[in-house]
Structure formats: C-alpha cells, structure tokens
Structure 1
Amino acid sequence: MKVYVDADACPVKDIIISEGRSAQIPVILVTSFSHFSNAEQPSGVETIYVDSGADAADYRIMKLAETGDIIVTQDYGLASLGLAKGNIVLHHKGFRYTNENIDQLLQTRYLSAMARKGGKRTKGPKPFTAEDREQFKKLFKQIISSLE
C-alpha cells in the first residue's frame, strides 16, 4: 500500500508524511514543476513532478495508484476516478469520499460551474481550519490502523 497526495495545494502534507512514516507506508507527493523544491524529503517520501497543465497530477496519480492505495485530494474528479479504481480517497478537510457521496459532490460542482458560467456568483470553499486539520489527522490515522 502507498499514499498518493495531490500535493500542489494540500495543507496536510506534514501530517501525511509523519503518519505515513510512523506506519512505514510510502508517501508519494505528486506536484507540478511550478512547485519545484530542492528540499530533501525524509526516507519513505518521494516527490514526482509533472507538467503544470490542468489535471497532469491527477493523470499521473491514476497511472501509478493500485487498488487499495490511499489518495488524498480535494479534486472531486480525481476522487471519482480513484473510487472506481478501488482506492481509498480522502479529502484534506477530514472526510472520506465514497460511492455514496461522490455523485452529489460532482453534481454540486457542476451546478456551481454552470451558475458561474451564467454570470452568477457562487460561494467558494470555507477556509481551512485547525479543526479541519485535526479531523483529517484523526481520519487518516483511523484508515491506516484499519489497514494494518
């Protein structure tokens, strides 16, 4: 098992790396070249750089992930693909994507996009909070321990 992180805008990379290392689960950060860093990652953590094009990180994650791997993303499209492939897919705000909730999430995203296209203003995501961070950490640890 491995953990793949859609890492460009992921605010919980440090939690994933820390908990992944503790459980000896490899962590792969997939990020665009525009976020390139010479910083050395700890053992068990790999960074894969992809082009800055739309969905480049998503395509690479889907190419690499195997059934049962964990994917952390805020992208509903990637979450949907991961679920179809048999992955465990988590959002950084501490909820798990499921076959039961993904259709509603995709529908809401579509309706918001259509409203914006029609000139209406829609609300953006709520700010990421310390509570979200703790909720993610709790869920991530729970998922890892259930797979051991």
Structure 2
Amino acid sequence: MQIWVDADACPAVVREILFRAAERKKLVTTFVANQNVKLPPSQFLKSFRVQAGFDVADNEIVARSNSGDLVITSDIPLAAELIEKKVLVINFRGEQYTENSIRERLNMRDFFDTLRSSGIQTKGPAAFSQQDRKMFADALDRILARV
C-alpha cells in the first residue's frame, strides 16, 4: 500500500498525522500539489509538484495510484474516480468514501452547484476542529491496522 495525499487543501494537522503514520508503518506517502510542500526528512515522505491548473493534481493521483492504495482527499469527483480503481479513499475529516456513499456525495455536490449557479448563497464546510482531527487519526489507524 502507498498513501497519496491531495495536498493543496490538506490541513497542516492532517499532514502531521500522516508524517507520523508513514514513519510508524514505513509506508511511502506522497503529497501531490501544485506548490512546494514542506516535508520533514524521511525516506517514506515524498512530494510531487504538478503544474498549476484545473484537476492537474487530481489527474496525477488517479494515474499513479493503484488498487489497494490509500488516497486522502476531500475532492468528491476525484474520490469517485479512485473508488472505481478500487483505491481506498478518506477525507480530511476521516470519512471513508465507498461506492454507495460517493454516489450520494456526488448528487449533493451537484445539487449545491446548481444552487450556487442560480445565485443562492450556500455555506462552506465548517472549520476544522479537534474532533475532526481525532476522527481522521482514528480512521487512518483503522485502515493502517489492516496493512
């Protein structure tokens, strides 16, 4: 298993959890972003910088990930593509996406896009909390315990 991180929107606290998990489990963890990602020295931590542009990092993650890998992202369309490849996907708040849950999430995303395009204001996601941090760490531990 390899871990891939959609790093452009990854909260710093999630990065820290991933740094420790990569060392503990000796798993290569690659942070994909369109900017430099500062990483501590480690043979297990890698950064992959892509060109700026719409979905460039997402496309790179899809191309490089394999069945059984783990991807950390909050990007719903990216998660849907990865699930088709049998890649495990969790978001920054620890929710694991499945074939069933991703369809529901895609429908909600499309619904909110329609609302926004018709001029209706919608709220963004809630601020990242200590509970979110714990839920992410717990979800990651459950997945890595199987490795």
Q: Deviations over 1:74-128 (max 9, x none)?
A: 0001100110000000001011001110011011110111111001111111111
**Match in the other structure for 1:22:** 24
Cα 1:94–1:40 change in 2 (3 A) is closer
What root-mean-square deviation, in Å, do the aligned CA atoms of Structure 1 and Structure 2 show?
1.2
| Aligned pairs, number | 145
Taking structure 2 as the reference length, the TM-score comes to 0.94
Shift of 1:52: 1.2
What one-letter code is carried by the residue in structure 1 that aligns with 2:25?
A
Query: 5+ unaligned residues in a row in structure 1: which ranges?
Result: none
Counterparts of residues 98-117 of structure 1 (less than 5 Å)? 98-117=98-117
Sequence identity of aligned pairs in percent? 29
**Match in the other structure for 2:129:** 129
Q: SS at 2:112's partner residue?
A: helix
Taking structure 1 as the reference length, the TM-score comes to 0.94
In structure 2, C-alpha distance between the alignment counterparts of 1:65 and 1:130, rounded to whole Å: 29
Shift of 1:46: 0.7
What one-letter code is carried by the residue in structure 2 that aligns with 1:49?
R
In structure 2, C-alpha distance between the alignment counterparts of 1:80 and 1:37, rounded to whole Å: 25
In structure 2, C-alpha distance between the alignment counterparts of 1:36 and 1:96, rounded to whole Å: 27
Q: SS at 1:51's partner residue?
A: coil
In structure 2, C-alpha distance between the alignment counterparts of 1:39 and 1:138, rounded to whole Å: 22
What one-letter code is carried by the residue in structure 2 that aligns with 1:44?
F
Shift of 1:37: 5.1
Q: Is the 8 A contact 2:31 2:37 kept in 1?
A: no
Q: SS at 2:109's partner residue?
A: helix
What one-letter code is carried by the residue in structure 1 that aligns with 2:87?
N
Shift of 1:41: 3.8
Counterparts of residues 87-106 of structure 1 (less than 5 Å)? 87-106=87-106
**Match in the other structure for 1:8:** 8
In structure 1, C-alpha distance between the alignment counterparts of 2:39 and 2:104, rounded to whole Å: 39
In structure 1, C-alpha distance between the alignment counterparts of 2:28 and 2:117, rounded to whole Å: 41
In structure 2, C-alpha distance between the alignment counterparts of 1:38 and 1:17, rounded to whole Å: 11
